[in-house]
């Protein structure tokens, strides 16, 4: 696009930064969440979430007489990575909702719904 054409486009529609901002914020949230999931893929929290998703998927398959062997085979194999797991679940509208589902102990509900990081839980004596 020539300089003049670009200037006319910007006058008509504004800068890309202005009209892309709401989508960019959501993209950054989802990108950060997927990076966290990949980083903590073998931790207990993500493993538990993975198992929950696979159980829902397998137990909803039609005509499965004994779904447990299939579930155990899937859990012990490396065929299900993040893209495959995500394709099995209905994605919530906000990344923070899925983050809360995976790491509920790390999430605090605030007015801004921000990810607070790990909280120190006092143990009862």
Give 99's contacts (C-beta < 8 A, 6+ positions apart): 33, 36, 106, 107, 115
pTM of the predicted structure, to 2 decimals: 0.61
The two three-digit tokens of residue 61, written as one number: 């398959």
- In this prediction, residue 49 carries a pLDDT of 92
Domain ranges of the chain: 3-106
Q: Which residue did the predictor score with more confidence, 109 or 35?
A: 35
On the question of pLDDT at 58 being above 60, the answer is yes
Please identify which residue in the block is written with the tokens 């998927």.
57
On the question of pLDDT at 123 being above 50, the answer is no
Q: How far apart are CA 14 and CA 10, in angstroms?
A: 5
């Amino acid at each position: 696009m020539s300089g003049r054409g670009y200037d006319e486009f910007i006058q008509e529609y504004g800068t890309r930064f202005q009209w892309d901002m709401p989508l960019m914020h959501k993209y950054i949230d989802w990108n950060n969440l997927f990076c966290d999931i990949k980083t903590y893929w073998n931790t207990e929290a993500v493993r538990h979430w993975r198992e929950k998703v696979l159980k829902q998927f397998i137990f909803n398959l039609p005509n499965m007489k004994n779904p447990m062997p299939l579930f155990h085979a899937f859990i012990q194999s490396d065929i299900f990575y993040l893209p495959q797991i995500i394709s099995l679940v209905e994605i919530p509208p906000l990344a923070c909702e899925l983050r809360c589902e995976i790491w509920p102990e790390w999430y605090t509900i605030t007015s801004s719904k921000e990810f607070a990081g790990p909280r120190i839980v006092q143990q009862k004596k």
